[in-house]
Amino acid sequence: MPYQRTNALNYANENKERFLDKLKEVVAIPSVSTAEEHVPDIQKTAQWLKEELLALGLDNVKIYPTARHPLVYGDWLRAGPRAPTVLIYGHYDVQPETPLDKWDTIPFTPTIKGDNIYGRGTTDMKGQIVATLAAVEAILQAGDLPLNVKFIIEGEEEIGGPNLEDFIASHTDLLACDFALNPDTGMLAPDTPTITYALRGLAYFELRVYGPQQDLHSGLFGGVVHNPAQVLADLVAGMHDARGRVTLPGFYDAVIPLDEEERAELARLPLTEEFYLHESGSPALWGEEGYTPAERTGARPTLEVNGLYSGYIEKGSKTVLPAYAMAKISTRLVPEQDPQEVGQQLRAYLAENAPPTVTWELEQLSGSVASLSDRQSPWIQAYIEAAQSAWGTRPLFKREGGSVPVVVHFQELLGVDSVNIGFGLPSDNMHGPNEKLHLPTFYKGIEALIHFFYEVKSET
Amino acid sequence: MPYQRTNALNYANENKERFLDKLKEVVAIPSVSTAEEHVPDIQKTAQWLKEELLALGLDNVKIYPTARHPLVYGDWLRAGPRAPTVLIYGHYDVQPETPLDKWDTIPFTPTIKGDNIYGRGTTDMKGQIVATLAAVEAILQAGDLPLNVKFIIEGEEEIGGPNLEDFIASHTDLLACDFALNPDTGMLAPDTPTITYALRGLAYFELRVYGPQQDLHSGLFGGVVHNPAQVLADLVAGMHDARGRVTLPGFYDAVIPLDEEERAELARLPLTEEFYLHESGSPALWGEEGYTPAERTGARPTLEVNGLYSGYIEKGSKTVLPAYAMAKISTRLVPEQDPQEVGQQLRAYLAENAPPTVTWELEQLSGSVASLSDRQSPWIQAYIEAAQSAWGTRPLFKREGGSVPVVVHFQELLGVDSVNIGFGLPSDNMHGPNEKLHLPTFYKGIEALIHFFYEVKSET
């Protein structure tokens, strides 16, 4: 191993505490992108990142404002035009911290317990951002970077905001690269490095059902007025059949059937029923008949209720017949499904099934298509080597249930594949209460990234 | 007409403004019984009532504390043991003012617009209480009351609290009477006095469905974890069949079929489809097949969803697979249905239909049986005369969809029937936003009560 790489690894090993302090600093800023009151925190986080990139010695560091939340850019292009260029993606925004009462720690007060650090954004994905910054810092302390690096870190990932796509489309020169690195997709278990070669798309909706002109007394009107909460329940219930299939007309038409080779590959993943039972804490699993858990989460489209609201939901009782009921509904999509078409399918379902006793509105809040990466690309081969060096084991290949629209944008607008990896674990409670990051995996991740940057260089 | 009655009516006519001021005073106190933060307002309202009863010159005026909200009592028994005694019931607590954004006025700032006064509690039932106080005041200004009067005004009606029943059971001597007057049931239209001879019972539940141990990422777990919001929707949807009937096992077993005489009587009420469409503002009506609207609201049991909650319900999107979903569900019951048995039926339904992928809890928040009053009693005959004098028309007889447990308690514990009347209108938005009271009807109501007290005396 060349001495530079060794020096970089040693530097990373000696600076673990400092990297952890950096992570604590940025987790403490509540950069919730969906909430207006957190706009100053969003700006504070962008400023924090700008200062970190400057401290690394990067060039062209700049905060780019958008119509909503700003992006942070910085690059180091001194490896020259013959060296490959990696575009490192990140998002500094986080999910809302609700429900607060389910947290054992304070969401924006990073708290170490055992091997983990708890706090909103630790795993999704401030920990991943800090890991890439740490790897670049370690290499730069040991000499030059063996490749060109560009960072683009956005603030609207958790709200599916449109501004990243617009920014990429209007800055294709600035962002030009050979491949992207997206450390937002996690690992299947500690010491099980994982490459995610497929991501599901997302179409997110809010369905609003209106009945009477205003809330009514349930005794006086119960029995003659159709309750919008009941209608909403009927509509939501009808969106799946008894075999766990989504009933929206045409929902499966574009879905590519899984072939036997890929089913065999997915069968090698440790995503067993026992795994999902343990990770979720559910009493029993559920899903589309005829598919394994790994297939149902990675390779089949699904429909989820993300929120329900109607009437009186505080403590105690109120005998109200609500005027209004609302559901947040999202579908996870696989390649060839179009989020706008799925919106039309949902609209068609509602037009056919909503009774004339109510009116309804459907708003599409976001949409992104699914993506598939080439498992044979040199970048993915480089990560296989890097993971082997860091963990001593070849990574698993996974189709991921989540959605990373940026992978699609990079493919469509920049013409590049992404290496989708990351150091979050399934038990990290991403998006839920008690979000955490496993620190030994975080430190191993920094090591893997250092190897990766050297491997990319040595292969091209 | 004896000169005393004429003097009382004149006094009431000359003091309209003062009665209205009294109503404004008491509506301005936000006596929401379900909310802990309003406990001081509950106490303030009880104190206000105590002072009003003392100002009328009543005896034995006292605030009786209970385990939760106090009752206010006062009497005037100087008509002597040979005169009849009426127990006047009221409740000074009100429904929560939510949803605030749907109000055109400030809920606890009584506001006159045209012929109406707007504010939470105006019609349900502070206006009705002030009307009875005004009628007693007018008669006492003209001489003695022609009958003995006892007031019992509680603070837990809107939460179905158990303390009134306990108080009645332990104070049967204090409350002993010949009949009760309950001005909490309203009129079908202005100038259409109405006597409610049947009231539905109520059984109110909170159903909680638990899936995964905590909120999960809908992309990572969607397709393998059964979404509790979806399960709740399935369960709620299954509680009615396609004919609008409630599917709880045994729900209709105890229900007495309507006979032709009573169906003919109910058919005379102006509770047409048009009426309910207009009053509710719903696009179309709904309900159990084979029954008219008046039958469905008055004489048939129903099941309503009063509230729904799961997951993320704020603005925007959150891709959460919720750990928990909740529904507030209530059933309106007719004579012979038992609220505890209905609780068992709901529990049996859930045991049969809830999938093994979730766990559930059912809490029964309140329960009361339905009641039927004797349409031939002298007290009801007296109110027919009084209404004839005040409005020039004979009142209609109605079966009411709402629930007034106190009528049952008086029947079971004191052995007396109630005269269920009142001056609220269907368009008063009881329990909803923009609750109001129609002032011309309020003033007519005071007049009718004055007649009523004299009529009762003259009949016995």
Q: How distant is the Cα of B197 from the closest Cα of chain A, in angstroms?
A: 15
**Two structure tokens written together for B279:** 């009053």
Q: How distant is the Cα of B316 from the closest Cα of chain A, in angstroms?
A: 6
In this predicted model, what pLDDT tens digit does every residue of A233-274 receive, in sequence order?
A: 999 999 999 999 999 999 999 999 998 988 988 898 888 999
In chain A, residues with a C-beta closer than 8 Å to the C-beta of B326 are: 313
Q: Cβ A317–B330 below 8 Å, yes or no?
A: yes
**Residues A198, B330: Cα–Cα separation, whole Å:** 46
At A460, the pLDDT band (50, 70, 90 cuts) reads low
Chain mean pLDDT for chain B: 95
For residues B243 and B383, membership in a common domain is answered with no
In this predicted model, what pLDDT tens digit does every residue of B182-227 receive, in sequence order?
A: 999 999 899 999 999 888 999 999 999 999 999 998 988 999 999 9
Q: What is the pLDDT of residue B2?
A: 76
pTM of the model as a whole: 0.76
Contact yes or no for A433/A56 (Cβ under 8 A): no
**Residues B104, A121: Cα–Cα separation, whole Å:** 41
DSSP code per residue over B372-425: E--TTSHHHHHHHHHHHHHHSSPPEEEEESS--HHHHHIIIII---EEE-----
Phi-psi region of A55 (alpha: psi -120 to 50; beta: other; left: phi over 0): alpha
In a domain, B151, yes or no: yes
Q: Which residue of B lies nearest to A304 if distances are taken between CA atoms?
A: B222
CA-based Rg of chain A, rounded to a whole angstrom? 23
For residues B358 and B392, membership in a common domain is answered with no
Q: What is the pLDDT of residue B1?
A: 58
Strands (E) in A334-382, as ranges, are 359-368, 371-372
In a domain, B279, yes or no: no
Most distant CA atoms of chain A, gap in Å: 82
Residues sharing a CB contact under 8 Å with residue A184, sequence separation 6 or more, in sequence order: A89, A90, A91, A124, A125, A128, A157, A404, A420, A422
DSSP code per residue over A191-244: TB-EEEEEE-EEEEEEEEEE-SSS-EEHHHHBTTBPPHHHHHHHHHHTTB-TTS
Contact yes or no for A440/A115 (Cβ under 8 A): yes
Which residue, of B368, B384, B418, is where some domain finishes?
Answer: B368
**Residues B129, B45: Cα–Cα separation, whole Å:** 12
Q: Cβ A306–B321 below 8 Å, yes or no?
A: yes
- Answer positive or negative: Cα dihedral of A360, A361, A365, A369: positive
**Residues A130, A152: Cα–Cα separation, whole Å:** 13
Whether B400 shows a pLDDT value over 90: the answer reads no
Range of the domain at B217: 201-255+301-368
Q: Cβ B34–A237 below 8 Å, yes or no?
A: no
Distance of CA A36 to the CA centre of its chain: 21
Residues sharing a CB contact under 8 Å with residue A76, sequence separation 6 or more, in sequence order: A56, A57, A58, A59, A136, A140, A145, A148, A149
Which residue, of A368, A401, A422, is where some domain finishes?
Answer: A368
Contact yes or no for A387/A88 (Cβ under 8 A): no
Q: Cβ B285–A225 below 8 Å, yes or no?
A: yes
Residues sharing a CB contact under 8 Å with residue A249, sequence separation 6 or more, in sequence order: A345, A348, A349, A352
Closest CB to A280 among B216, B311, B400: B216
In a domain, B271, yes or no: no
In chain A, residues with a C-beta closer than 8 Å to the C-beta of B329 are: none
**Residues B217, A306: Cα–Cα separation, whole Å:** 10
In a domain, B267, yes or no: no
Q: Cβ B312–A328 below 8 Å, yes or no?
A: yes
Q: How distant is the Cα of A240 from the closest Cα of chain B, in angstroms?
A: 9
Q: Cβ A236–B230 below 8 Å, yes or no?
A: yes
Residues sharing a CB contact under 8 Å with residue B145, sequence separation 6 or more, in sequence order: B76, B78, B79, B136, B139, B453
**Residues B72, B82: Cα–Cα separation, whole Å:** 26
Interface probe for A, chosen from B69, B158, B220 (most Cβ of A below 10 Å), is B220
Q: How distant is the Cα of A15 from the closest Cα of chain B, in angstroms?
A: 32
Q: Cβ A204–B280 below 8 Å, yes or no?
A: no
At A1, the pLDDT band (50, 70, 90 cuts) reads low
In this predicted model, what pLDDT tens digit does every residue of B349-391 receive, in sequence order?
A: 999 999 999 999 999 998 888 988 888 899 999 999 999 999 9
Interface probe for A, chosen from B104, B221, B297 (most Cβ of A below 10 Å), is B221
Torsion of CA B445, B446, B448, B452, to 10 degrees: 130
In a domain, A269, yes or no: no
Q: Cβ A357–B282 below 8 Å, yes or no?
A: yes
Question: Other CB atoms closer than 10 Å to residue B244's CB: what's the count?
Answer: 17
Chain mean pLDDT for chain A: 95
In chain B, residues with a C-beta closer than 8 Å to the C-beta of A272 are: none
In a domain, B289, yes or no: no
Q: Cβ A222–B304 below 8 Å, yes or no?
A: yes
Strands (E) in A369-416, as ranges, are 371-372, 396-400
In this predicted model, what pLDDT tens digit does every residue of B37-95 receive, in sequence order?
A: 999 999 999 999 999 999 999 999 999 999 999 999 999 999 999 999 999 999 999 99
Q: What is the pLDDT of residue A431?
A: 87
For residues A333 and A383, membership in a common domain is answered with no
Most distant CA atoms of chain B, gap in Å: 82
Q: Cβ A305–B236 below 8 Å, yes or no?
A: no
Average of per-residue pLDDT across A431-454: 97
In a domain, B170, yes or no: yes
In this predicted model, what pLDDT tens digit does every residue of B238-287 receive, in sequence order?
A: 999 999 999 999 999 999 999 898 898 889 888 899 999 998 999 999 99
Whether B161 shows a pLDDT value over 80: the answer reads no
Which residue, of B368, B394, B417, is where some domain finishes?
Answer: B368
Specify the CATH number for the domain of residue B251.
Answer: 3.30.70.360
Q: Which residue of B lies nearest to A294 if distances are taken between CA atoms?
A: B224
In chain B, residues with a C-beta closer than 8 Å to the C-beta of A220 are: 297, 400-402, 426, 430
At B293, the pLDDT band (50, 70, 90 cuts) reads very high
Contact yes or no for B364/B343 (Cβ under 8 A): yes
Whether A99 shows a pLDDT value over 90: the answer reads no
Residues sharing a CB contact under 8 Å with residue A201, sequence separation 6 or more, in sequence order: A332, A333, A334, A337, A339, A367, A368, A369, A370, A371, A403, A405, A408
Q: Which residue of B lies nearest to A320 if distances are taken between CA atoms?
A: B306
**Residues A9, B326: Cα–Cα separation, whole Å:** 51
Average of per-residue pLDDT across B121-149: 97
For residues A100 and A163, membership in a common domain is answered with yes
For residues A128 and A58, membership in a common domain is answered with yes
Beta bridge partners, A216, equal A321
Contact yes or no for A167/A413 (Cβ under 8 A): no
Q: In what order do the strands lie in the sheet with A436-438?
A: A111-113, A116-118, A436-438
**Residues A412, A417: Cα–Cα separation, whole Å:** 9
Contact yes or no for B350/B208 (Cβ under 8 A): no
Closest CB to B310 among A237, A307, A332: A307
**Residues A288, B353: Cα–Cα separation, whole Å:** 19
Residues sharing a CB contact under 8 Å with residue B129, sequence separation 6 or more, in sequence order: B26, B49, B90, B92, B153, B183
Q: Cβ B304–A215 below 8 Å, yes or no?
A: no
For residues A193 and A209, membership in a common domain is answered with no
Strands (E) in B81-141, as ranges, are 85-91, 111-113, 116-118
In chain B, residues with a C-beta closer than 8 Å to the C-beta of A206 are: 317
Whether B403 shows a pLDDT value over 80: the answer reads no
In a domain, B264, yes or no: no
Q: Which residue of A lies nearest to B295 if distances are taken between CA atoms?
A: A223
Whether B393 shows a pLDDT value over 90: the answer reads yes
Q: Cβ A240–B226 below 8 Å, yes or no?
A: no
Torsion of CA B398, B404, B407, B408, to 10 degrees: 110
Q: Cβ A280–B224 below 8 Å, yes or no?
A: yes
Q: What is the pLDDT of residue A459?
A: 55
For residues B209 and B355, membership in a common domain is answered with yes
In chain A, residues with a C-beta closer than 8 Å to the C-beta of B37 are: none
Whether B460 shows a pLDDT value over 60: the answer reads no
In chain B, residues with a C-beta closer than 8 Å to the C-beta of A215 are: 99, 102, 431-433
Closest of A337, A410, A440, A409 to residue A86, by C-alpha: A410
For residues A242 and A308, membership in a common domain is answered with yes
Q: Cβ A218–B330 below 8 Å, yes or no?
A: yes
For residues B310 and B397, membership in a common domain is answered with no
Residue B38 has what DSSP assignment? G
In chain A, residues with a C-beta closer than 8 Å to the C-beta of B310 are: 305, 307-308
Closest CB to A320 among B224, B284, B432: B432
**Residues A423, A416: Cα–Cα separation, whole Å:** 22
Whether B115 shows a pLDDT value over 80: the answer reads yes
In chain B, residues with a C-beta closer than 8 Å to the C-beta of A96 are: 312, 314, 318
ipTM: 0.77
Beta bridge partners, A359, equal A210
Question: Other CB atoms closer than 10 Å to residue B412's CB: what's the count?
Answer: 13
Whether A113 shows a pLDDT value over 80: the answer reads yes
Specify the CATH number for the domain of residue B146.
Answer: 3.40.630.10
In chain B, residues with a C-beta closer than 8 Å to the C-beta of A97 are: none
For residues B216 and B104, membership in a common domain is answered with no
**Residues A407, A183: Cα–Cα separation, whole Å:** 11
In this predicted model, what pLDDT tens digit does every residue of A384-407 receive, in sequence order?
A: 999 999 999 989 988 888 877 899
Q: Which residue of B lies nearest to A186 if distances are taken between CA atoms?
A: B220
Q: What is the pLDDT of residue A253?
A: 97
Helix/strand/coil percentages in chain B, nearest 5: 40, 25, 40
| Omega before residue B430 within 30° of 0, cis | no
For residues B184 and B221, membership in a common domain is answered with no
Q: What is the pLDDT of residue B23?
A: 98
In chain A, residues with a C-beta closer than 8 Å to the C-beta of B436 are: none
Torsion of CA B335, B386, B426, B137, to 10 degrees: -110
Closest of B344, B26, B297, B32 to residue B159, by C-alpha: B32
At A98, the pLDDT band (50, 70, 90 cuts) reads confident
- Answer positive or negative: Cα dihedral of B119, B124, B126, B127: positive
Q: What is the pLDDT of residue B261?
A: 84
Closest CB to A233 among B236, B297, B355: B236
At A161, the pLDDT band (50, 70, 90 cuts) reads confident
Closest CB to B159 among A218, A306, A317: A317
- Calculate ∠ Cα A383-A387-A390, nearest 5°: 140
Q: Which residue of B lies nearest to A296 if distances are taken between CA atoms?
A: B223
Interface probe for A, chosen from B39, B185, B218, B425 (most Cβ of A below 10 Å), is B218
Residue B324 has what DSSP assignment? E
Contact yes or no for B54/B38 (Cβ under 8 A): no
- Structural domains in chain A (count): 2
In chain B, residues with a C-beta closer than 8 Å to the C-beta of A305 are: 227, 229-230, 233, 310-311, 322
Interface probe for B, chosen from A221, A289, A420 (most Cβ of B below 10 Å), is A221
Torsion of CA A190, A194, A200, A204, to 10 degrees: 30
CA distances from B39 to B91, B156, B432 (A): 15, 11, 21
More confident residue, B261 or B19: B19
In chain B, residues with a C-beta closer than 8 Å to the C-beta of A402 are: 217, 219-220, 319
In chain A, residues with a C-beta closer than 8 Å to the C-beta of B319 are: 202, 204, 304, 306, 330, 402-403, 431
**Residues B223, A304: Cα–Cα separation, whole Å:** 8
**Two structure tokens written together for B231:** 């399960």
The length of chain A in residues reads 460
For residues B324 and B420, membership in a common domain is answered with no
In chain B, residues with a C-beta closer than 8 Å to the C-beta of A160 are: 317
Where helices occur in A216-331 by DSSP H, the ranges are 218-221, 228-237, 260-267, 273-280, 293-298
In chain B, residues with a C-beta closer than 8 Å to the C-beta of A316 are: 34, 159, 365
Interface probe for B, chosen from A272, A279, A431, A436 (most Cβ of B below 10 Å), is A431
Q: Which helix (H) or strand (E) holds B61?
A: strand B59-64
